[in-house]
Structure 1
Amino acid sequence: MSRLQDRIAIVTGAGQGIGAETAKRLAQDGAKVAVFDLNEEVGRETVQAIQSNGGEAIAIGCNVSDVEQVNAAVEKVASHFGRIDILVNNAGVTRDNLLFKMSVEDWDTVMNVHLKGSFLCAKAVQKFMVEERYGKIINISSASALGNRGQANYSAAKAGLQGFTRTLAMELGPFNINVNSVGPGYVVTDMTKATSERVGLDFEEQQKLIAERNPLRRVGKPEDIANVIAFLASEDSSYVNGQIIYVNGGAR
């Protein structure tokens, strides 16, 4: 039997990149997956990939920074599947710039999606998890939480998620709910490609340079992150709580 057999999972921002790979991996491990994405049509592509491999999934359009949309989406999942066991708060955006160029709108957008979105989703699902006395919440932070030039908003949001994770672990632990965070390093996704293009760097050359500085001499792939998330979503991690796990090949 697969280690997530018949578990019900929500993955936000699951239309592409790390979110899509995570949704596929959880489904591969036996979970039934609700694919949340701002663009429901993009989310359906992930659903189709899961279904083509024999898995079960539904796509739901949801702006995670909107409380009414989040509550409606979570209720839809609970109504459709009967309960909610796993939440992966992955939805994210970047609005990179140096501080003196960064607009208030760019600051608010990043904070609202990463921090407020994770808060709203966790708040919405916890009542189902508390009732069942079971749950796994995985918040996606980043190595950028340690600071990264041109990402004051993103770094602050990702650092905030780490404090959020540790606090929820304390509050929800007594109800048999594990809350942990994964902090990816550089991972090849459409988002990192767009960042390279925005600053005028060749994407392939950038990957080569980053790989040369990494102890494992390679860059990360979405499945590298999904594998760790799948572990934290399973009973194999039942005594892991309130932890921040960096997945970056040992880079410092």
Structure 2
Amino acid sequence: MNNLFNLTGKVAIVTGASSGLGADAARAYAEYGASVALLARRKDKLDNVVKEIENNGGKALAVQCDVANEDSVKAAIDEVMKHFGQIDILLNNAGVATAGSVENMSVEAWDKVMDINVKGIFLMSKYVVPHMRDRKYGKIVNIASINAIIADKDPSLFRHSYNTSKAAVRGLTMGMAASYMQDNITVNSIGPGLFESEMTENTLFKHEPFLRAYNAISPAGRPGKKGELNGTIIYLSSDASSYVTSQHILVEGGIAIV
């Protein structure tokens, strides 16, 4: 029986791949046989992850890219196509979070979150989907958040722009899924709970009252560990999920159970 999770011969793009969950996903794609294009704004950090993948026998390419800038995205996709000749998988992972409620957040802070978390997925998909349609094959996985469906109650942790942007990711995922399944392109989203990453390590993980409360109400009793998101990412990026589209899979240790 063929291994449905085997990604040999596939090319995956990972945005926000310079650290944290994005870098972990890039390593996982390489472990399952895919060639990986790592995109982020910090090229030096990308180079370190690429070197690690290559040292383990994988194929990888570092491409500097600002997902909120159309010219930057277009140039990045052109570079990936020139280097690998195809794009089979797109993991839209790049994201930011800014604290604040609608009362005290600046328009500039709001726009930054929307530009990266929502516009970034729009732009990446805009320039990747045509290549997938040409080959009648594609896997798009959008990283949303548990905060697309639940919100923090602690005023010090209000992140209204983040809640809004991640709910928008869910809506965009459904719209794209309905449009592109006929082209054999599946589009799904993942809603991680709390994982340690560059985004959270200096904020939520240092907010001890929040962390204690999170662990107390989570059936798992803890945040997610390094690598625990990779199984879902590989599943949605492989032929194991060939008839799965528009789904939103929560990876959150049960904290959303009501």
Under TM normalisation by the shorter chain, which class is it? over 0.9
Letter in 2 for 1:33: V
> Structure 1 residues 222 and 167, CA, compared in 2 at 3 Å: closer, same or farther?
farther
Matched with 1:201 is 207
TM-score by length of 2: 0.92
Q: Give the root-mean-square deviation of aligned CA atoms.
A: 1.5
Q: Deviations over 1:31-85 (max 9, x none)?
A: 0000001111111121112112111101111000000100110011011001000
Residues of 2 paired with 1:153 and 1:144: CA distance? 10
Match of 1:165 among 162, 173, 179: 173
Measured in 1, the distance between the counterparts of 2:204 and 2:169 equals 25
Match of 1:140 among 134, 140, 143: 143
* Number of aligned positions between the proteins: 248
Selected match of 1:184 from 192, 201, 222: 192
2:229 is aligned to 225
Distance 1:228 1:71 in 2: 28
Higher alpha-carbon deviation: 221-230 or 52-61: 221-230
- CA deviation after TM superposition for structure 1 residue 206, in Å: 4.9
CA distance in 2: counterparts of 1:167 and 1:134, whole angstroms: 18
SS of the aligned residue for 2:99 comes to: coil
From the two aligned structures, give the one with the greater helix fraction: 1
Percent identity over paired residues: 39
Residue of structure 1 aligned with 2:71, choices 68, 90, 107: 68
Give the match's secondary structure for 2:202.
Answer: helix
| CA drift at 1:213 | 2.1
TM-score between both structures, scaled by the size of structure 1? 0.94
1:203-237 Cα deviation digits (max 9, x unpaired): xx754542232112221024111221111000001
User: Secondary structure of 1:106's partner?
Assistant: helix
Matched, 1:58 2:61: yes
Unaligned runs of 5+ in 2: 153-157
How far residue 171 of structure 1 moved from its aligned partner, in angstroms, is 0.7
Query: Which residue is 2:28 aligned to?
Result: 25
Which of 11, 15, 19 is the aligned partner of 1:8? 11
